[in-house]
Structure 1
Amino acid sequence: MAGGNGATTRRQLTLFPLHVTLVFQLLCAKRAAAATSFSFANQCAHPVWVGALSGATSPQLARTGFYLAAGATSGLAAPSSGSWSGTFWARTGCAVDEGTGRLACATADCGSGDVACDGRGPAPPVTLSEVTLAAPGSGGLDFYDVSLVDGFNLPVSVAPSHEGCQAAACAGDVNAACPSDLRVLSGGEVVACKSACNAYGSARYCCSGDYGTPAACGPTSYSQAFKAACPAAYSYAYDDASSTFTCSGADTYHITFCPAT
């Protein structure tokens, strides 16, 4: 009997670590397959209509546009397999035209005529939140930024949930400091600020043609005005050094419109 009981005990001790290992592996696999999520908060005093556009090789998200009331929050999940890249932005001053029944927005309209943007990007000027996610479980880095390369319509921040990862943000009011020749007016109010590329289309301001390299295309007085208002945001095409952020292990990216300064 004593020999039998000892054999049973040894077998249980052998199986127990294997059971724990299998459970741990299953939990890790489940975590690796879990999708990163995006949360959206509207801290503006007015509603916004969020737009979402996936990159050319990335699958479309479950929603490509939605209404977000002042003070409201919402969320989206990224695809659970493979890497993902895309942009988010806020449309403002949107209303349905009584004659056509189409939605039109004062800033950052995607031209779909609907709340959903259905694969259409925003018309500049627009503040963009750009995110590139590494494949789940790969251990790779996510990249994210706030870009004013296509101008500015309202302040935005992108903050990873992972401790130690820095937020990318343009919390300043660029409209208040917008040069007069870049202003977009509605009802006498500055509602957006064009980039110099949007306004003039020149190779110098667009970093194209002979100016299509970082060495040839440095900051201008226009981009420096953007940088002064939002030091952590892209102010022109090659403004990488102080404007691109990386993070590994974030479960959620919090995107806030009109974040507190």
Structure 2
Amino acid sequence: MVGTWCVQAITIETVNKASEVMCVRYWIPNEVGGGCNEVRMGNKWDIQVTDRWKAATVWATEGGCGGAHCNTGPPTGVTQFEITVDGGWSNDYYDISALAGFNLGLTVAPTNPTCASQICTSLSTCQGVVPGGPDRTKACKYGSASYVLTFIK
């Protein structure tokens, strides 16, 4: 264990099943920055997570990243995966948010089968879109799962 930067092996695997190419981005507001990567149809990009991921967001837009700045928060109009790692009671907390808009379908599948998946294929079918709704934020034991995010059209 190396200070506060050590974390159980948590990976966010992003999968493109949406378009020819898309730009996947993540943002951690309590850190300096985030990152982005162009992901071609059928390919994936793995993001390594640290325990400093508090209120982090992952989203994608169709098309390439094209020299865009990766160190910015999400724009309005995008479907977002939100996660807080080790957010209390030794849990990771996560959800799909379409409150700021919807651009791509998104599924979240934790690798731990005891942790709940979420599906948001269209704005009207998004689980967790209603604040305070029963499907909103899910909890998974800290370090017990990685997360597979599949962007779909």
Q: Common fold, TM-score beyond 0.5?
A: yes
Q: How does 1:96-245 map to 2 (within 5 A)?
A: 103=66, 114-118=67-71, 120-134=72-86, 140-171=90-121, 173-174=122-123, 226=124, 229-230=125-126, 232-235=127-130, 238-245=131-138
Contact 1:86 1:130 in 2 (8 A): yes
* Greater alpha carbon shift after TM alignment, 158-167 vs 143-152: 158-167
Unpaired segments of 5 or more residues in structure 1? 1-25, 27-31, 96-102, 104-113, 175-225
For residue 17 of structure 2, the aligned residue among 43, 52, 66 is 43
Corresponding residue number in structure 1 for 2:62 = 92
For residue 39 of structure 2, the aligned residue among 59, 68, 71 is 68
CA apart distance, 1:123: 2.1
Distance across 2 between alignment mates of 1:82 and 1:125 = 26
Runs of 4+ in structure 1 over 3 Å off: 32-35, 58-61, 81-85
Contact 1:160 1:250 in 2 (8 A): no
Residues 1:77 and 1:146: Cα distance change in structure 2 (over 3 Å): same
Contact 2:7 2:49 in 1 (8 A): no
For residue 134 of structure 1, give the secondary structure of its aligned residue in structure 2. strand
1:254 aligns with 2:148: yes
Residues 1:115 and 1:49: Cα distance change in structure 2 (over 3 Å): same
> What is the number of residues matched between the two proteins?
148
Bigger Rg, structure 1 or 2: 1
Between structures 1 and 2, the one with greater helix share: 1
**TM-score for both structures, normalised by structure 2:** 0.82
Root-mean-square deviation over aligned CA pairs: 2.6
The Cα offsets for residues 74-119 of structure 1, whole Å up to 9 and x where unpaired, read as 101112x555430000012447xxxxxxx3xxxxxxxxxx24411x
Corresponding residue number in structure 2 for 1:181 = none
Unpaired segments of 5 or more residues in structure 2? none
Distance across 2 between alignment mates of 1:167 and 1:94 = 28
Residues 1:51 and 1:240: Cα distance change in structure 2 (over 3 Å): same
Contact 2:12 2:49 in 1 (8 A): yes
> Which structure is richer in relative contact order (CA contacts within 8 A, separation 6 or more)?
2
